Structure 1
């Protein structure tokens, strides 16, 4: 596949493959950012969440990493090699992490994966710890416990600062084809507004200053909810949209199902109106100064667009509408231009983002 020739035949597929394996997979992604990684209670919460994940998809996991060296280890069953249940409870202070995924090759993007990084505490340069996991997009259709209820239980256990869940572009555990991967990721970001584009290492550094933005399920702890006027004020702005409470915060649900949207097919964008409503509510606290997530291309591709600082901030603002604007246009504002060649929309009604009726 040539990334420069993205076509309808391959850009809507659930995986993107190269000779070196699976470069991208589109799936249901869950990401939670938390503090207190050096505390035993938080480590126990992570292990509890991981146990839940194993109960659901443990037989699909094929690779993990050595907790000391980071080297990949092929699995013959998820517990055929040392597990975090063996070492994390007695682990001392300092950074810790573990990763599992279900790819055929050690670097493959996969529909199954679970990774955690518990950062070392640095009060001068605060970073967040993070947990990510993935499911196939149809995984919860026939299950009694749906994703919102599962996420609510996990938030009760972990008490995250914030997080999100929905359709996500999961990238390979490799730097092969980096330029082509960045260009494809940029094009996916431009075309499908509902698709989450992640940079775990960059997010841990930047998102201590504010939540990333809206997804189908958006997690905010009470600290962030208070900055928006408190739980009940947010609940009132949510209107008929569900708000799932847990002890230390709430989950804002943008409609009955996750939505992808397609800027090449404007008729699909109406389905994102619930995302726009939630985005307008959380706009006052959404991070505005995130760094770019793509490196510079090699000289042969230096002319191609990427998610540099300007473009990634534009992407983060792709649902930036005020509630007044949404009501005036039945949930659809006219698209504007935030960066050259993009089709990310902005509000043209002269209203400040996040202003309620």
Structure 2
């Protein structure tokens, strides 16, 4: 998405905090945080086989595309991360849980050097069993911010094709942080991650398991969107509250002609400019397209959410801090 010689100033400042692989490591050399392009979508009826088949096929295509970069995949039987070359988890379309509504369906693959490390080359998906009909499933995936010649990945096209097939209730993509898959390890990095979030407002914070709960009930007991980023996918269910997809598209064109609008059956993918933005609060620099979009979509944004992360010692992203982060663009 970016070449190193064309980075905006705020992105150069962020990347200077990480090593040449755009990762932050613990004293043992294990990657605990990684910078990259991050996407996440949330979908309804996650127990249905038809839905799971779309999720599985997308994940399998991603795994095939990034096979040379991947090191680990989730074993669907043991639920442990196995070395990629011998992993049973590289073919999600064959998982037995695909057709079992009473069983959860999980997928994970990572390019980290150790099984629970952080990597921008990562995909994770979860579809809960049929327990509550309002539960959401999710897919999150990423790609490097600075692509190599063999790893070109046009995120708007990829996300749009997924939305056309899956018709998610909401989703988003932009610059984000990938954390360690080990909760005990990632907890020790919650403080630095919080500080990065305070400085760079365009940096997405992703906690998919808890998001899936509050995206279904975090707006006066009903669902809504988490917020905005470079790419923001919204279902017609929420667009209808704003007058419908056509009205929203017309409003956004009037708001700023730099918005790129991708209509698909069941929703709208809003692209805030040609490239993702980051912002830098230390310079009072805010990504203006994100700010305008966040204000416009505020009526359908969730207002309630639990703590991000472990909620452990220090509670860097406690409930109050989370509410402030969700509303970070409102008064700009």
The normalised TM-score by structure 2 is 0.85
> Match of 1:338?
none
Match of 2:66?
57
Partner of 1:286: 301
Change (3 A) 1:155 1:186: same
2:327 corresponding residue in structure 1: 317
Q: Which residue among 45, 48, 69 is the counterpart of 1:39?
A: 48
8 Å CA contact 1:116, 1:132 repeated in 2:
yes
**Structure 1 residue 253 corresponds to structure 2 residue 271:** yes
Partner of 1:122: 131
Q: Structure 1 residue 55: deviation in Å?
A: 4.1
Q: Which runs of 5+ in 1 are unaligned?
A: 1-6, 321-345, 348-357
Selected match of 1:23 from 32, 46, 59: 32
Q: Which runs of 4+ in 1 moved over 2 A?
A: 7-14, 79-83, 88-91, 121-124, 138-146, 175-180, 294-298
SS in 2 for 1:69: coil
Q: How many aligned residue pairs are there?
A: 306
- CA spacing shift, 1:36–1:80, aligned 2, 3 Å: closer
Q: Deviations over 1:181-208 (max 9, x none)?
A: 1101110110110000011111011111
Aligned in 2, Cα 1:193/1:285: closer, same or farther, shift over 3 Å?
same
| CA 143–229 in structure 1, closer or farther in 2 if over 3 Å, else same | farther
Contact 1:108–1:172 (8 Å) recurs in 2? yes
Alignment of 1:228 onto 2:242: yes
CA distance in 2, matches of 1:104, 1:168: 19
CA RMSD after TM alignment: 2.4
Report if the CA contact (8 A) 1:167-1:194 is conserved.
Answer: yes
Structure-2 change in CA distance of 1:122 and 1:104 (3 Å): same
Distance 1:257 1:263 in 2: 19
In structure 2, the residue matched to 1:323 is none
Structure 1 residues 148 and 43: CA distance shift in structure 2, 3 A = same
Q: Which residue of 2 aligns with 1:11?
A: 17
CA positional deviation for 1:51: 3.4
1:274, 1:9 → 2: CA distance?
Answer: 22
- Aligned-pair CA distance for 1:90: 5.3
Distance of aligned partners of 1:96 and 1:262 in 2 relative to their CA distance in 1, 3 Å threshold: same
Compute the displacement of 1:69 (Å). 2.6
Q: Which secondary structure does the structure 2 equivalent of 1:59 belong to?
A: coil
Identify which of structures 1 and 2 has the higher relative contact order when contacts are C-alpha pairs closer than 8 Å and 6+ apart: 2
Q: Per-residue deviation at 1:40?
A: 2.0
Residues 145-181 of structure 1: CA deviation (Å, up to 9, x unaligned): 7221221111111111100011011111113445531
Question: Matches of 1:254 and 1:147 in 2, distance apart?
Answer: 13
Helix, strand or coil at the partner of 2:282: coil
**What's the offset of the Cα at 1:260?**
1.2
Distance 1:237 1:86, change over 3 A: same
Residue aligned with 2:197, SS: helix
Question: Cα 1:58–1:297, aligned 2, differ >3 Å: closer, same or farther?
Answer: same
TM-score normalised over the length of structure 1: 0.79
